[in-house]
Structure 1
């Protein structure tokens, strides 16, 4: 025979009392019932102070952003419709005449073609950075040394780089000396011809900014889970297949950012050509021309219009690139 146990709840015995701890515990449970409101009223989350607290923290950054970014941009746009010389208190409205001059005067519009050299150099720069980032992201002897060698030029000041390569490309300088050691005799003025000068300056930009793209690509590649590489290796995928199907799709956002930086940087090159040539021999860029218009020829209105055009071009290119290569949406729910 088997014994049966009665599992029904027992009624409290007559005369029994519940302990004070049990009463307090029951009271707390009743207070925390999700369908009831606490007797204390509204919590701190719904107080007016909690709602304005984020804006109090944002007040100082927003004030600085508006004062030093949006107000100067608005002033620049206003100056672009005047003939202001930057000194005189008189500002005569000229309408869209400054913008018409930028696109109709050949000496002002020619600088856009100089940006083509730096744009082509940016493509080479991204390719070189992506190659070394892919190679050095895996186990390799002295890879930390090579990482430092690639990133070091980006840490050097642009003015110092300009003076170093100014002596590098001058007649009888470092480049001519190295070529003479190799048995190559040349009397070519590297910075005296527009084509060779722009190619030389674009090469200096590649040497300097490759480290920035290299670090961006290296961080993106190293964030890829190692299980993907192991699975690809088990499937017999080669190095090119691993790069094409694993690395390239994973670093697409970083590659998109690098393209935007490359295009905007090629349009706004300034310090290296300004220091090495001063914009002479057909090496004047859009920014160098804008600076000369404002501070050398005292045409602040025309220079402001040029700056507005440059800003509009960069924003337009960024918008087109975002439309063609949209960012992947991430569902955080």
Structure 2
């Protein structure tokens, strides 16, 4: 009845507003409001239980920056960052192979991308049994006559490497899909012209594919930095952060819920957010600079 009395233009505006206001309210309620409260808590000594708290100013931030136990866990992120290079290398290799004519190409694409669709908690439990003593990995190595095996998750010298392999297996499909889309966006006539000129697959990869996906490759490296800083699910499920596998996010969660220091944990979360934002901003600026340089070179 109300809509019938409005003009067509007013009806259109009302419908757009009605469909827009709900997601905006949800976004403000579940994203931005908690962010504001987190910043507020980071300036207090709230324990997550008491109805009141004391204002501390930037004391929590000073504690995080001055105590090496908090920032020292970032060295664990290096394992995940370094593992991103073989991850990207394998993803690029499979994307290049499957961009050409291969039998059952869609089947192999599905196999490679499937791990990325799995829930992180499920992956953690899967590899927990994979790495346990007498588990799947040990059984496979026993078949090849290898019997003196380490504790894959208990030995501090290799446990982070073991966890990094889980990250490679999980995220390689995502990088593979991005690389595949970038490679397939190249004009097929370029490959045909290269074949006529006698270029083999390696030359096509080196002189056609790599220059075409340079920006995508650079973007994935930057994303690997922010991803390695925020690792949580897999190490939390598999080791709980024990034996040197503690990450900054796990430490933040334990500070909040195990030690009831929500104010300090909020400060840690704000610091991590700022680092990720800075990395994302650097990625945007560097990508823009590369795009602008490429346009100038083309001009």
Instruction: Give CA-to-partner distance per residue, 1:17-68, whole Å, 9 cap, x none.
Output: xxxxxxxxxxxxxxxxxxxxxxxxxxx99x7777787555432222222222
Q: 2:194 aligns with which of 229, 232, 235?
A: 232
RMSD: 2.3
- Give distance in 2, aligned partners of 1:234 and 1:187: 52
Deviating 4+ runs (over 6 angstroms): 47-53
Give 1:125's aligned residue: 87
2:234 pairs with 1:272: yes
TM-score (norm 2): 0.88
Give 2:45's aligned residue: 83
> 3-state SS of the aligned residue for 2:50?
coil
1:303 Cα offset (Å): 0.6
Instruction: Give CA-to-partner distance per residue, 1:51-88, whole Å, 9 cap, x none.
Output: 78755543222222222211111111111111111111
- Give distance in 2, aligned partners of 1:119 and 1:90: 40
Q: 1:49 to 1:150 in 2, by over 3 A?
A: closer
Tell me, which stretches of 5 or more residues in structure 2 are unaligned?
1-6
Tell me, which stretches of 5 or more residues in structure 1 are unaligned?
1-43
Aligned residues between the structures: 286
Higher gyration radius (CA): 1
The question of whether the paired residues in 2 share the 8 Å contact of 1:176 and 1:186 is answered with no
Instruction: Give CA-to-partner distance per residue, 1:112-132, whole Å, 9 cap, x none.
Output: 000000001112211110110
The higher relative CO (CA closer than 8 Å, separation ≥ 6) is in: 2
2:209 pairs with 1:247: yes
1:97 Cα offset (Å): 1.2
More helix by share: 2
Give 2:185's aligned residue: 223
Give 2:4's aligned residue: none
Give 1:313's aligned residue: 275
2:114 pairs with 1:185: no
TM-score (norm 1): 0.79
